[in-house]
């Protein structure tokens, strides 16, 4: 027997519609590529998102079409989030820090019909344009006055595009399971894989973000969105902000400590969200410049494990509470958020910081378990490590176009590839990555990919890539290679070679040559041995 | 193109499962019918709900069966909420204050297969048992020691029933649109009509309750649930509490001021939820007894318009913030909650109380509009009155077994039967029930507004305003009021008081004083009774 409730669908358009009607006067503040600070309201954003949807319709975009974006956090990117998804097309955010090869692969794999690009990324797009098979036109996200000279073909100016339309547009109604957004993971093996979000998953995830065990956002907040909008829906914060009417501050390209601090103070930011690297730069800046935070009392950190020392510094020096969260592209992303529970009230500092360094309990909607290598469920004792599996309505069920085969098991569990403990109170802590990805400033660098590229250089027999701790980027890649007898390959040769296929920030900080690499019984590289041996290796 | 997100269903069982795993140590405290305070945890509640589901299965209950309950707020009622719905059956809460005729009608209409009854209602059920067609057995919600002598047939003791089972039960998985609960409206005309909730609607509604623009519940709260569990899912609070791990306090049968205040203080309640009548009793008690609230800082009031005077008293005398909410059985119920917005920060007291007396903006998920008699959409100007229509995933699409015909129009709007304004900021205010508004010479006079103004006059306890036929104006307002014992308020005092805030043509033509006003089963004023009684009242 079915209930007799209205069959209203959970759609992203209803979020911006709600913001328009209920929070029409609340500001969205952006640092622009053109220079000045831009400010407008949710009402403006809603109207322009509708203009965009009309313009895209006129360009022939229909439900299900993929539309690429490569942009910093700014108001036009917000309009893409709502305009593209709202009309039923798929907002495909592309990470501009990927190599040209990867960008070309991803855009072709997604079959993006149009591509929206921020000014600073026009040269990058010019480089790959000839290899893009599906893109019918490139929209440069600026106004007429700032349009660059470009060799791109079929170029459209964003402001001209939308100004040709009015905002007399009614968001269409459709199945909430319709695809809304697409984001590729930079996986450790094989090609990048696309995670395809739905309107339903985005809405449920945003509902969770508004709860006290999620990210606790409300209309009282001014949120500084440092996490890039090309990363996993910017953690769903554009959606959640519209739903609750939070003021939103978008920092554009300037993520240095001074610029971020200036925005926090000028806009009276109450909460920020981003990866540890940005906060390291910020903490360094405010320490050196003897600054404080007048209004910011919370910061949400994820994307990589947060060092306990950072949590302590924020709390003790600046009275800012760190909310440590965990997730991945495949989980929309928020899976856990490390809130204290009732029993932790009055906890001593030492216990508090130890607990806060965990990734925390799963939010409602996400189920978790840890399993052994044979799939047996392991106890929640805070000590036993196992592969972390998750399940829930905003967890992937498989990758775009079936890449990578089955992503979930018969009971619907997704293997995160993380190795974790879960304690008696349900707090999850990631202890290791099953694969050996290098986490550099919130970005992942595939060690296996780099190894494969390295051995592609004549004179190299074998290579291992491991992460070495780094004070600013947390981890940086170190290549450990074995030369062919008599070969004269140098460190510079390796880096030159890798730079042909990798972005600059992905390149290894050092290359060392050894006589042989350690292997296990089945021939697998023993990276643990290398990690121990090179733990104190000085990167140059 | 559909997204590639997991097809996990939104089920009520996942709420109690989450509470069991994440908030297993958090208490549910109940004042019992047997006498003492009972306390146990969500873990206990989850385990016993599973025992109940197993026992019901053994009794032959299957997915879709309706199971009746007639009980106060207590831990066993919680187990019915989760055990019955969790197994896929329908938890049909019956209001014990209904007449025997209505109870018999409703139980037969629902075709309840089993019926769970609290000790105090056994006599009521004995009276109607012979007229019940579908009930195969009655479960008395107590232990063996407290089982009453009863003439009921096929009687089962609750504790014996569930103690025969262990908690080794896996909640079944099914479509989230499956019916979860059933609640009949006590309409003033025609037969009661059943609203059939679904697992989906209950989950989305609970998500909303956890948000800052909903009821803002979190794991930090201790919630006193005064609103009866036989009223509209107890406003969804049993579900929301389990989802967020709030401590829950269930007051049983004792809703007098002293008992309620005692529970609030002893259990360190932070927020309570109920209808205005209970708070009137509570406020009277704490004033007379010179008490205060040590921990309670919020109270959520709905079910009837909250008089501004009550909001002022709570705030000024006791530092308790009233959250005025609006909803109805057909809306699960929360449709609006009167939070202040950013622009209202620093608002002066007078404006603050005027705003707080509105029902507030719709929560995300609920769309609202006001329309004229001909269905034309009316402006949001805070002045124009129209019929309030609502739409959303937790709004009814029709009544059980098609009673009352079509409940929604072609665009999915449900007519609430309320007359409202909506202001520029989206704040809805109910000015009257469509059937209660006084139509005087083509103008509308709000009976609710006049009632609220009248009870703001010292010496007046309660007031009802009805339309009385008038030869020239068609209808004119009549105030029927109850004085405080010993008060010397006169008709002239009332009219003087009202004239401060109302236009002359809006003032009542007469004021009569009575010893008490008639109320229905849910505490609502029975204006029909008054209309009949005062049909021939001679206006002066």
Give the three-state DSSP class for A513. Answer: strand
pLDDT attached to residue A188: 46
Write the CA distances from B55 to A30, B60, B145, B158, B169, integer angstroms: 59, 9, 20, 10, 11
Hey, which residues 225-284 in chain B have their CB within 8 Å of chain A? 243-245, 247
Which is nearest to B84 in space by CA: B178, B152, B9, B208?
A: B178
Burial class (CB in 10 A: 0-12, 13-18, 19+), B382: middle
DSSP B374: T
8 Å CB contact of B1 and A64: yes
Separation of alpha carbons A373 and B340, rounded Å: 52
What DSSP state is assigned to residue B106?
H
Q: How far is CA A449 from CA A58, A188, A403, A502, in A?
A: 41, 7, 17, 10
The answer to whether A414 contacts chain B (CB < 8 Å) is: yes
B43 CA: distance to closest CA in chain A (Å): 13
Q: Given an 8 Å threshold on Cβ–Cβ distance, is A3 in contact with B177?
A: yes
Cα of A42 to nearest chain B Cα, Å: 14
Contact yes or no for A74/A45 (Cβ under 8 A): no
10-residue stretch averages of pLDDT, chain B, 540 residues long: 97 98 98 94 98 98 98 98 98 93 96 98 96 97 97 96 96 98 80 95 98 96 97 97 98 95 98 92 95 97 88 96 96 97 93 95 98 94 95 97 93 95 97 85 82 92 92 90 93 94 89 92 82 84
Of A5, A179, A414, which has the smallest distance from its Cβ to B200's Cβ? A5
Q: A6 vs B247: CB contact, 8 Å cut-off?
A: no
Joined tokens for residue A373: 């290598």
CATH number, span A438-533 = 3.30.300.30
Domain boundaries, chain B: 12-253, 438-533
DSSP A175-227: -TTBEEEEEEE--SSSS-EEEEEEHHHHHHHHHHHTSTTTT---TT-EEEE-S
Q: Do B5 and A395 touch (CB under 8 A)?
A: yes
Show the low-confidence residues of chain A (pLDDT under 70). 186-190, 432-435, 444, 448, 520-524, 540
For the record, the structure tokens of A83 come out as: 């305009």
Can you list the positions of beta strands (E) in B106-252? 114-117, 137-140, 155-157, 179-185, 193-198, 222-225, 247-250
Window 6-45 of A: residues touching B by CB (8 A cutoff) are 6-10, 14-15, 18, 21-23, 25-26
Contact residues, chain B, for A219 at CB < 8 Å: 212-213, 339, 341-342
List chain A residues with CB under 8 Å of B394. Answer: 5-6
Of A110, A33, A16, the closest CA to residue A69 belongs to A110
CB-closest option in B4, B332, B393 to A398: B4
Kindly give, in sequence order, each residue whose CB lies less than 8 Å from that of residue B99, ignoring residues fewer than 6 positions away: B521
A198–B5: do the CB atoms touch at under 8 Å?
Answer: yes
β-strand partners of B322: B299
Separation CA A174–CA A11 (nearest Å): 8
Looking at chain A, which residue has its C-alpha nearest residue B400?
A: A4
Picking from A28, A211, A338, A401 by the largest number of B CB atoms within 10 A of its own CB, the best residue to mutate is A211
Q: How far apart are CA B328 and CA B183, in angstroms?
A: 11
Number of H helices, E strands in chain B: 16, 24
Interchain proximity B23–A400, CB inside 8 Å: no
A500 C-beta neighbours (distance < 10 Å), count = 11
Express each pLDDT in A411-464 by its tens digit: 999 999 888 899 999 999 987 666 677 878 877 677 767 887 898 899 998 899
Contact with chain A for residue B90, Cβ under 8 A: yes
Burial class (CB in 10 A: 0-12, 13-18, 19+), B109: buried
B178 and A245 in contact by Cβ < 8 A? no
Contact A5 B245 (CB under 8 A): no
Establish if B471 touches chain A: CB-CB under 8 angstroms: no
**How does A380-403 read in b/e, with b if 16+ C-beta sit within 10 Å?**
beeeebbbbbbbbbbbbbbbbeeb
Q: Are A400 and A110 in contact (CB under 8 A)?
A: yes
Contact flag B396-A23 (C-beta cutoff 8 Å): no
Size of interface A-B (CB pairs under 8 A): 216
C-alpha torsion A202→A208→A214→A217, nearest 10: 80
A178 and B CB contact within 8 Å: yes
* Cα–Cα distance measured from residue A484 to residue A512, given in angstroms and rounded to the nearest whole number: 14
Output the pLDDT for position A220. 96
- Residue A248's Cβ-count burial label (10 Å; 0-12, 13-18, 19+) is buried
Establish whether B57 is a catalytic residue: no
Q: Is the peptide bond before B142 cis (omega within 30 degrees of 0)?
A: no
Residue of chain B minimizing CA distance to A176: B2
- Select from A22, A179, A210 the Cβ nearest to the Cβ of B1: A179
Q: B402 near B331, Cβ under 8 Å?
A: no
Across B54-136, where does the E strand assignment appear?
66-70, 90-93, 114-117
The first and second tokens of residue B82, run together, are 């989760």
Alpha-carbon gap: B151 to the closest alpha carbon of chain A (Å): 33
| Probe site for chain B from A2, A6, A182, A396 (most B CB atoms < 10 A) | A6
CA A415 to chain B, closest CA, distance in angstroms equals: 13
Please indicate whether, in this complex, the C-beta atoms of A6 and B412 are within 8 angstroms of each other. yes
Mutate to test the interface with A, among B26, B211, B328, B369 (most CBs of A within 10 A): B211
CB distance A6–B179 less than 8 Å?
A: no
* The token pair that represents B473 in the structure block: 């104006």
Does B64 sit within 8 Å of A1, measured CB to CB? yes
To the nearest whole angstrom, how far is the Cα of B179 from the nearest Cα of chain A?
4
Report how far residue A8's alpha carbon sits from residue A10's, in angstroms, rounded to the nearest whole number.
Answer: 7
Q: Do the Cβ atoms of B3 and A244 come within 8 Å? A: no
**B414: which chain A residues are within 8 Å (Cβ-Cβ)?**
6
Contacts of A211 in chain B (CB under 8 A): 207, 210-211, 218, 243-244
Contact B2 A179 (CB under 8 A): yes
Q: Quote the CA–CA distance of A161 and B253 in Å, as a whole number.
A: 65
* Preferred mutation among B2, B5, B203 to probe A, highest tally of A CBs within 10 A: B5
- The domain A12-253 is placed in CATH, from the list 3.30.565.60, 3.40.50.12780, 2.102.10.10, 3.40.50.960, at 3.40.50.12780
Taking contacts as CB-CB distances below 8 angstroms, the residues of chain B near A412 are 6, 8
Task: List all residues of chain A from 479 to 538 with a beta carbon under 8 Å from chain B.
Answer: none
Residues 337 through 356 of chain A touching chain B, CB cutoff 8 Å: 339, 341-343
Helix (H, G, I), strand (E, B) or coil at A371: strand
List all residues of chain A from 368 to 407 with a beta carbon under 8 Å from chain B: 391-400
Strands B321-327 and B298-301: parallel
First to last CA, chain A: 68
In this complex, do A3 and B178 lie within 8 Å of one another by their Cβ atoms? yes
The catalytic residues of A are 185, 330, 439, 444
pTM of the model: 0.89
Q: Which of A42, A32, A26, A363 is nearest to A206 (CA)?
A: A363
Catalytic residue among B79, B330, B451, B462: B330
Q: Do strands B334-337 and B321-327 pair parallel, antiparallel, or not at all (unpaired)? A: antiparallel
Mutate to test the interface with A, among B364, B412, B424 (most CBs of A within 10 A): B364
B291 to chain A, closest Cα gap in Å: 27
Phi, psi of A161 (to 5 degrees): -60, -50
Structural tokens at position B510 = 């007469």
């Amino acid at each position: 027997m079915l209930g007799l409730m209205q069959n209203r669908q959970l759609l992203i358009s209803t979020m911006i519609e709600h913001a328009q009607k209920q929070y029409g006067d609340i500001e969205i503040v952006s640092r622009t590529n053109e220079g000045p600070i831009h400010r407008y309201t949710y009402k403006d954003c809603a109207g322009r998102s509708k203009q965009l949807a009309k313009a895209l319709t006129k360009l022939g975009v229909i439900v299900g079409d993929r539309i690429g974006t490569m942009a910093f956090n700014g108001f036009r990117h917000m309009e893409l989030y709502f305009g593209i998804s709202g009309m039923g097309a798929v907002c495909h955010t592309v990470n501009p820090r990927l190599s040209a090869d990867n960008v070309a692969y991803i855009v072709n794999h997604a079959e993006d019909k149009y591509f929206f690009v921020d000014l600073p990324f026009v040269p990058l797009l010019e480089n790959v344009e000839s290899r893009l098979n599906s893109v019918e036109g490139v929209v440069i996200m600026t106004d007429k006055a700032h349009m660059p000279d470009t060799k791109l073909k079929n170029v459209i100016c964003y402001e001209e595009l939308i100004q040709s339309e009015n905002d007399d547009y009614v968001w269409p109604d459709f199945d909430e399971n319709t695809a809304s957004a697409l984001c590729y993971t930079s996986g450790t093996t094989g090609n990048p894989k696309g995670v395809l979000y739905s309107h339903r998953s985005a809405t449920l995830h945003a509902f969770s973000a508004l709860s006290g065990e999620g990210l606790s956002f409300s209309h009282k907040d001014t949120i500084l969105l440092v996490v890039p909008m090309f990363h996993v829906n910017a953690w769903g914060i554009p959606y959640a902000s519209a739903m609750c009417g939070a003021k939103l501050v978008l920092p554009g390209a300037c993520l240095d400590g001074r610029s971020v601090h200036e925005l926090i103070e000028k806009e009276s930011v109450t909460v920020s969200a981003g990866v540890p690297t940005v906060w390291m730069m910020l903490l360094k800046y405010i320490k050196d410049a003897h600054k404080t935070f007048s209004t910011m009392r919370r910061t949400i950190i994820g994307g990589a494990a947060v060092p306990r020392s950072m949590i302590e510094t924020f709390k003790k020096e600046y009275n800012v509470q760190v909310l440590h969260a965990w997730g991945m592209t495949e989980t929309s992303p928020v899976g856990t958020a490390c809130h204290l529970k009732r029993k932790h009230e009055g906890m001593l500092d030492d216990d508090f910081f130890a607990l806060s360094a965990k990734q925390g309990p799963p939010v409602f909607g996400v189920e978790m378990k840890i399993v052994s290598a044979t799939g047996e469920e392991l106890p929640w004792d805070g000590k036993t490590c196992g592969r972390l599996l998750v399940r829930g309505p905003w967890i992937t069920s498989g990758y775009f176009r079936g890449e990578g085969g089955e992503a979930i098991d018969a009971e619907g569990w997704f293997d995160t590839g993380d190795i974790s403990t879960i304690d008696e109170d349900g707090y999850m802590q990631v202890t290791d990555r099953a694969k050996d990805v290098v986490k550099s400033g919130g970005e992942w660098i595939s060690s296996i990919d780099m190894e494969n590229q390295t051995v592609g250089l004549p004179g190299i027999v074998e290579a291992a890539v491991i992460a070495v701790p780094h004070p600013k980027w947390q981890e940086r890649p170190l290549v450990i290679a074995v030369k062919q007898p008599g070969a004269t390959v140098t460190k510079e040769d390796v880096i030159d070679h890798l730079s042909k296929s990798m972005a600059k920030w992905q390149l290894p900080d050092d290359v060392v040559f050894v006589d042989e690499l350690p292997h296990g019984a089945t021939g697998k590289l023993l990276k643990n041995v290398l990690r121990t041996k090179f733990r104190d290796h000085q990167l140059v």
